[in-house]
Structure 1
Amino acid sequence: MLLHLYPTLYNRCLTYPHRNRVSWEDMVDSYGQLCGHEKNNLRDSTILLTDCGDSLGYYLEHFFAHFPEELQIESIIAL
């Protein structure tokens, strides 16, 4: 688990107790596995997600929605 490497994200998890902790930890782990090049590719981008009704689309929608500042995403369009 990478929560100890990202204390700000961990504190955000504690601030919102209604959040599913396991799901949040998975998202933080996924964020931690992005390399600098991948993060740079997302900078100032607009993310278009389609089919957000399935499990992977739902997860990606929430991942990008929870990390817009860290990834410097301009906007997210989820269909």
Structure 2
Amino acid sequence: MHVDWATLAAIAVVAAAASVTVVLLVAFAVLGLSGSPARGSGGDGAPGTRSAAGTALAALCLLAAGLLVCYGLYLIVA
């Protein structure tokens, strides 16, 4: 049996990169929804309030993470 080590390494690198990307996108989404005022903003936001930009960032990050997961599932099924 012959193992194509170059292809195996490429698949491992792509899988690791995709995993890190999904985790980072979800982390940025949580950060966008955290509701804490940004450092250096003077703390002018009330605790627990979310900015529209933070909510939009969270929505875009979760959408991108979902699309990456769906694309991965498509590659597995197809």
Return the TM-score normalized by structure 1: 0.27
Return the TM-score normalized by structure 2: 0.28
Structure number with the higher strand fraction is 1
